[in-house]
Structure 1
Amino acid sequence: MMPSPTPSLFLFFFLCFAHGTAHRDEPPRHGCHHGPRVRFPFWLPDGPDSEPGYPGFELICDGDGRLALSVPNIPNPLVVKSIDYKSQSVVLRDPSNCLPLGIANLTLRGFFAREDPSRSAGPYNYNYNYNYTLFRCPLPERNSYDMTELACRSDPSSYKVYAVDSSESVGNVPLVHCERIIGSLDSLPNPIKGMITEARFDWKQPDCKKCTKGLCGWHGSSIACDQPHPGLPEKLHREIAGIIVGSFLFLVGLTGLGYVLNEKRRDKAFQLKIESFLHDYEALKPTRYSYNDIKRITNDFEEKLGQGAYGTVYKGKLSNEIFVAVKMLDNSFGNGEEFINEVSTMGRIHHVNVVRMVGFCADGFRRALVYEFLPNESLEKFIFQGDDNPDPFLSWDRLHNIALGVGKGIEYLHQGCDQRILHFDIKPHNILLDDHFIPKIADFGLAKLCSKEQSAVSMTAARGTMGYIAPEVFSRNFGSVSSKSDVYSFGMLLLEMVGGRKNVDVNAKNMSQMYFPQWVYNHLNKGEELEIRIREDGDHKIAKKLAIIGLWCIHWYPADRPPVKAVVQMLEGEECPVMPKNPFVSSGSGDAATMKGSLWNTNLEVIEE
């Protein structure tokens, strides 16, 4: 596989490109720890690598490391919040929140009105047109009008100072108990509400707006536009940037090409794996169809029967009398393993209670499995009744026959084949019914093969459907994974057939009914009848029989469960089996099943997966 560039390599090229751009457009930064970039006309006399700026634009670093402008008659320096060199403006902030008062003092001295750089008074200019008069009002005078309080001049315990627009008529302002203060705030650059703490000022001199391609500089007594400094010629900068961007795009393209080639190599390996498997299983003689055959059989996938975890099932027709179900597998799942698993398993099976595989398709990357068509679909449709599932309820005799057929099918998988087949996904959805309601076990995508002499397997990961997976599949603390895992799933299926509902019901009326198996055990253990669908007198006996067998099958520990052969014998027997001990507690507790190690064979030899 072609290695892809690491993220650090991409970051290196990005930083190189960014550095080249910044190096061309921006001068070196001179400033404090906090504050905007400082360049001409501003300057820091005591800053590192300081260069002379324009007279009157000297900045300082205050005690908190902020960029600031020290001006006469204001106790604290004004903090420089931002500088816009393009529009030639600066925003100043007063940490003491008394900026209007400071500006008034400076305005009286003419500091912000000077434009002549030969004078040392100052460089800033603004069109001043906001004038205010100050009033001191006793507490608890309320500000019921558009008056702005100057907190820095107010005394919280006795009075407040307000600024009122000087153009406002006195009769319109509630100042009956207030006293006018000598002095006013004249020619402020902004409305006072917007500048209690900060204000924006423009400067006209020096005029650096004409320096569009270079940097503005101060040369003794005149302004000049310099070339970018320091750096290389602009043409060379563009060439370097082009090389960096080109190299970056080349690496991206190379990485993408490597990814595509690797995916093709991986898909080819999967295809070879499938072809090798099909060659090994030629003796099974299942019919192999091309993709065009599959399209013809399904009439271009006209009728969809259902959607599963591993693919979509369509109805097909081999002849006017023979219908099939075609399962198109999803190539994104399992890397072909599910396909190999099912074909290898189904090729060994010939039993009335196991669905028959008619053929398969392995045409390029398209894979499909062709089964006999069962018109009554799955058992799930008939046992879970509801508004969205109006199919009629099957009789208890028919349910008993279906349960017996499924049990015989599982017994055949465990004992009747050359190798033991563990299904690992027994559930109502995978029990299909033909036109005579004979059950057939389907969907062997999760099945595993092992020797008939070895009953337990080791697994690297849990497999199955939640609600039907045996505890030992999740945790080996319960025991070894074996054929008893299918017995557990079959027990959960029996209890769902009895209750006509999912075993875990979050919509149950009370907590005791949320987990149906526990509810069933509690009722039967107390000798109570099950409150389920009963139509005839004999139905109670069948329902109770299926429920008790189901409880035997779902013990937490595999050793406490009967083998499937014993389950079939209980289903065939006339009498109702005895009640098991509580299947939901540890075998070591006083309430555990007593059959462990005595009634059922527990010698399970673990084999590798």
Structure 2
Amino acid sequence: MEFNHERILLIFFLAAVVFSSLQPSVGRDDDDDCRPVQCRKGGPIVRFPFRLKDRQPQHCGYPGFDLSCSDFNEPILSLPDSVQFYIKQINYTGKFIHVQEQGGCLARIRYLNLSSSQFDFSGSSRDINLTIFSCPSSSGSGDLELDRFKTCLDDPDLGRRRMYYAMGSDWSIDLVPILSCTKMYNVSGLPSNDVLFKNYDLTLDWPPLICGDCDSQRKYCRFVNNSLGNQTECYGHIELPNRKTGKLH
């Protein structure tokens, strides 16, 4: 049986179509599981390297980026030593998050150990050491000098009977009238003297190698299929939330 030139080309074309259909495509089946989500309408968008662990499979997030939703539908990041932060903003291009503790006071900052997490304080300063003093509420009444060091810390059992002040560990004790106060503890390696002020905006960075410049290209990020280690790749095109409703499409 003789084949003409057109039939040969047709056979090669059909074979190529069948072969390509058997290859993994850019739109993998697991992409639908990892679509961006929110804890609430208008809240921070959660996508790779983050994932909501109660709503997305494990492969949808990078190790150490697991989030959950609070009772108030705010995304929560749980770090070592049981320190939990409410995430106020996620900046995927700059690779940083803005976080606070519930109530706006970083009361558990002294337990924070970032060395075993994927995050670090934003900026270069991590050499602030503070000493926390507990004082009778009357000791700082009307004292503008002492009021400068008043923190947002409190003791629910004591109510307003005690006030808590943060002072540089290397400052002279003569700078402030704390004779009636009790030294509580030291906090070291902080990014600022102001971390214990009400509603302090704590910024944490994550490593720039995770997802590279995917967001700058307006592309999503994911694990490389069947790769060794935690290699990531860019794919697709990022969809923005609806401007009117704040919901994802």
The two structures have a TM-score, normalised by structure 1, of 0.29
Q: CA deviation at 1:50?
A: 7.6
Q: Which residue of 2 aligns with 1:144?
A: 144
Count how many residue pairs are aligned between Structure 1 and Structure 2.
191
What letter corresponds to residue 81 of structure 1 in structure 2?
Answer: K
2:95 to 74, 83, 88: 88
1:38-97 alpha-carbon deviations (Å, 9 max, x no partner): 11111112226885211000000111111111234447x321100111111001111144
Q: Which residue of 2 aligns with 1:104?
A: 110
Q: Which residue of 1 aligns with 2:247?
A: none
Is the helix fraction higher in 1 or 2? 1
Q: CA deviation at 1:149?
A: 2.3
Rounded to whole Å, the distance in 1 between the matches of 2:196 and 2:94 is 20
SS in 2 for 1:141: helix
Rounded to whole Å, the distance in 1 between the matches of 2:65 and 2:132 is 32
Rounded to whole Å, the distance in 2 between the matches of 1:39 and 1:79 is 16
Alignment of 1:302-313 (within 5 A): none
1:514-534 alpha-carbon deviations (Å, 9 max, x no partner): xxxxxxxxxxxxxxxxxxxxx
Is the strand fraction higher in 1 or 2? 2
Rounded to whole Å, the distance in 2 between the matches of 1:80 and 1:191 is 21
- Change in CA separation of 1:32 and 1:140 when aligned onto 2, cut-off 3 Å: same
1:39 to 33, 47, 63: 47
Answer whether contact 1:60 1:67 (CA < 8 A) is retained: yes
Q: Which residue of 2 aligns with 1:178?
A: 181
- Change in CA separation of 1:206 and 1:194 when aligned onto 2, cut-off 3 Å: farther
Q: Note the residue ranges of structure 2 that are not aligned, 5 or more in a row.
A: 1-33, 240-249
SS in 1 for 2:179: coil
1:224-267 alpha-carbon deviations (Å, 9 max, x no partner): 33231589xxxxxxxxxxxxxxxxxxxxxxxxxxxxxxxxxxxx
Q: Which residue of 1 aligns with 2:222?
A: 217
Answer whether contact 1:74 1:102 (CA < 8 A) is retained: no
Rounded to whole Å, the distance in 1 between the matches of 2:105 and 2:171 is 22
Q: Which residue of 1 aligns with 2:133?
A: 135
Q: Which residue of 2 aligns with 1:16?
A: none
Alignment of 1:324-403 (within 5 A): none
Rounded to whole Å, the distance in 2 between the matches of 1:28 and 1:195 is 37
What letter corresponds to residue 123 of structure 1 in structure 2?
Answer: Q
Q: Note the residue ranges of structure 1 that are not aligned, 5 or more in a row.
A: 1-26, 114-120, 232-609
Q: CA deviation at 1:103?
A: 2.4
What letter corresponds to residue 42 of structure 1 in structure 2?
Answer: F
1:166 and 2:172 aligned: no
1:188 to 174, 187, 190: 190
2:120 to 117, 125, 128: 125
Highest CA radius of gyration, 1 or 2? 1
Q: CA deviation at 1:218?
A: 2.2
What letter corresponds to residue 90 of structure 1 in structure 2?
Answer: I
SS in 2 for 1:70: strand
Rounded to whole Å, the distance in 2 between the matches of 1:168 and 1:230 is 50
Q: Which residue of 2 aligns with 1:66?
A: 74
Alignment of 1:417-436 (within 5 A): none
Rounded to whole Å, the distance in 2 between the matches of 1:48 and 1:217 is 13
- Change in CA separation of 1:215 and 1:96 when aligned onto 2, cut-off 3 Å: same
1:252-303 alpha-carbon deviations (Å, 9 max, x no partner): xxxxxxxxxxxxxxxxxxxxxxxxxxxxxxxxxxxxxxxxxxxxxxxxxxxx
Q: CA deviation at 1:210?
A: 3.2
Q: CA deviation at 1:199?
A: 0.9
- Change in CA separation of 1:203 and 1:122 when aligned onto 2, cut-off 3 Å: same
1:343-392 alpha-carbon deviations (Å, 9 max, x no partner): xxxxxxxxxxxxxxxxxxxxxxxxxxxxxxxxxxxxxxxxxxxxxxxxxx
1:124-171 alpha-carbon deviations (Å, 9 max, x no partner): 023412221011111311242221223334733432111112232111
Rounded to whole Å, the distance in 1 between the matches of 2:72 and 2:210 is 31
- Change in CA separation of 1:72 and 1:226 when aligned onto 2, cut-off 3 Å: closer
Rounded to whole Å, the distance in 1 between the matches of 2:196 and 2:90 is 18
SS in 2 for 1:41: coil
Q: CA deviation at 1:36?
A: 0.5
Q: CA deviation at 1:206?
A: 4.2
